[in-house]
Structure 1
Amino acid sequence: MKRAVRWKLQRLFSAGVSLMSQRPNPARILAYDHIGIRVSDQNRSMSFYQALGFKETARFPLYEANEMLSPDGVRINLIFNGTRVPDAHNVLLDAPIKLPGMTHPAFIVDDLEVFQTWLDEQGIVITQGPHHIGPRRVALFIRDPDGNVLEFNQLVDGETQ
């Protein structure tokens, strides 16, 4: 982004001006590419996400990151520069004051029951669910070794339970 444009955007935001009054983005957003997940222990996190089915497809040493891909083309990036803090909590979800920010990625699985059984066998704690979220999905939530929240959904037909 050019310096002048960045400066203008910062001035607009700091002045409380809404971008909604500006001209809409003329470029189409074609797809969702990946989410970056900051972790503190590269080996432990790689093992965890590989167990979920992701395979490392690229390494970016300059950025202390990698790219991982599921067999069905779902992409994540692990960012290896997180600081390990014993008994750390997720500042976006665990603190009483809820700060703005991205709280979790949500993945779709083909069979949530089979996935839940596998999680139990692996000793991965389900922190919430499974339960219906609206009429289209049943979801459960887990945390990775650093406390990052991951949601897994199965899309269903029918009414909210």
Structure 2
Amino acid sequence: MKNNPHGIGIIDHFSLPCKDPELSQTFYETIFSAHVFTDANGPHVFGAGPEDRKLGRSIHIFMEMDNGQRFELLGHELNGKPPEGTHHAFKVGPNDLPAVRRHLEAHGVPYWGPGTHRGTDAVSIYFHDPDGNVLEFVCWGGYPDLAAVPLSQHMEKPNWDYVWDPVARRAHAPT
């Protein structure tokens, strides 16, 4: 990719906050002809089982359209609040994740990960832009030593607060 030595690819998926993900699922199936994304790990519907509840995982359903575009229907948090996990994910390859991690570090941007997600072979790094939007670099499949990657729900989140310096093109702690 031009001017992109880090392997950052197309938008992998985006998330939509939903009051009732199951109801929203029927809407997107009907209007967009979308279907629940399914791979070798099975259907990507999470948050309903006891193991997910123990992890504090709200209901989220990955949908896929016929053109391969995926999006996530993200339910309210377990405490009933609107979802905090609304984000936009950018695809990277399994060997690109370490490079994008170093890239974030080089520019002082706090991040969370790499972490995996129960029931998937996805490995993710999350971070915020200067406006507080949650972004994700995600690799689906092929990540070396996937078994050693911790579940993202078991990882401690960093202090996300930073100020972006547009001249130095790096983050620094707020003053």
Say whether the fold is shared (TM-score over 0.5).
no
**Structure showing greater Rg:** 1
Higher relative contact order (CA 8 A, sep 6+): 2
For the aligned pair, the TM-score class normalised by the smaller chain equals 0.3 to 0.5
TM-score, normalised to structure 1, is 0.39
TM-score by length of 2: 0.36
Query: 1 or 2, which has the higher helix percentage?
Result: 1
